[in-house]
Amino acid sequence: EMAEEEAKRAEAAKKALKEKEYAPVPPEWVLQPAISQGGLAEKFRVGRCIGKGGFAMCYEGELRNKIQGHDRKIFALKVVKSKMSQKKMEEKFRTELQIHAKMRHPNIVEFHRAFTFKESTYVVLELCSNGSIMDMVKKRRCLTLPEVRRYTIQLCGAIKYMHARNVIHRDLKMGNLFLDREMNLKIGDFGLAAVLVSTEEYQLGLYENAKKRRTTLCGTPNYIAPEILEKAKGGHDYKVDIWAIGVIVFAMLAGQPPFQSSSQNEIYRKARNLEYDWPQKDRHLNDIPEEAKDLVAQLLKVEAEERPDADEVVGHPFFSMHGGNAMPLIMDESFTREIP
């Protein structure tokens, strides 16, 4: 049965390669060239395919360090073609790596390293073996209140950490929230993340990747209007993540996103008008308490500055009602850890 599964995956990977120009993967050993920590070259064995994204194939990768002997360590190995057909994509990917590599938090997929081998770039990440929140909601239709509390608290911990370092994620969604073996939430995929910088920092030429991102988003650097930078300085840009948390919390409770619709314009229209309905209780669904509904209402404010920050979210009564039963987790370390 396992072999059959494996064969199916291999077939799917092959098909994906054909269709989308994914990077070819050597079947067995990959030796990391050049950079090596403490004189050790790391050897990865590429294992089964665990997923594919817009431009990456993801494999299980086993780190086999000769010197460490039989210390088997499994990672997620994201493989991307080094030379992409579009320069823009290459730049975007570089930004993603630069930002992700600086993030270190229990609820952010750990970035181990990235290297180039032959034609491909390999990104070695913490393996999240339990899929994503999206998979879970699809399978179960909705999550229990203790689960929703746990994941929201963990998500807010990571977002607090990111925002304190001027990083906005900008692409938070259930499919980007992975789960590790212990069912801890881990934010993955920094494909749209950006670093907000102050005007002075920008002029000093610090934060190369932020500069690049702004130029790709806003046109030629010489012509960037001051208010774009001003906005970055004191603005509420990072509150886009808080809105996304609102959508996620709603979807975890209700089984589908609040503004679900067949057309994009309709989704935008509904969102602008805050047109969403909580589902009627049926045998599949939670009895959704008023506290949860109020929390979502606070998160989904059209005016960005009215949305709470991560700390305020976790301070909401939803998390303390009835003794605040959350699926057990350690909140102190992940949530209050000092920002270096």
Q: Which residues are catalytic?
A: 171
Residues 84, 74, 152, 232, Cα dihedral to 10°: -30
Minimum CB separation of residue 236 from ligand ADP in Å reads 27
Residue closer to ligand ADP by CB (options 76, 313) is 76
Neighbouring-strand partners of residue 77: 59, 124
Residue closer to ligand ADP by CB (options 127, 137) is 127
| Per-residue 3-state assignment (H helix, E strand, C coil) for 220-264 | CHHHCCHHHHHHHHHCCCCHHHHHHHHHHHHHHHHCCCCCCCCCH
Residue closer to ligand ADP by CB (options 56, 300) is 56
Minimum CB separation of residue 93 from ligand ADP in Å reads 9
Tell me the residue nearest to ligand ADP as measured from the CB. Answer: 53
Residue closer to ligand ADP by CB (options 190, 250) is 190
Q: How many residues does the chain have?
A: 340
Q: Point out which residues bind ligand ADP (CB under 6 A).
A: 50-56, 58, 76, 109, 125-128, 178, 188-189, 191
Tokens of 225: 């209007």
Strand runs labelled E in the chain: 29-31, 43-52, 57-63, 73-81, 111-117, 120-126, 167-168, 177-179, 185-187, 194-195
Minimum CB separation of residue 190 from ligand ADP in Å reads 9
Residue closer to ligand ADP by CB (options 16, 224) is 16
Residue closer to ligand ADP by CB (options 127, 196) is 127
Instruction: Work out the angle between the directed axes of helices 208-218 and 226-234 (0-180°, nearest 10).
Output: 130
What's the rounded Cα separation, in Å, for the pair 223 and 217?
A: 12
Decide: 214 and 224 in contact? Cβ < 8 Å: yes
Look at residues 113, 129, 140 and name the one whose alpha carbon lies nearest to residue 33.
Answer: 113
What's the rounded Cα separation, in Å, for the pair 318 and 326?
A: 10
Tokens of 194: 């950006």
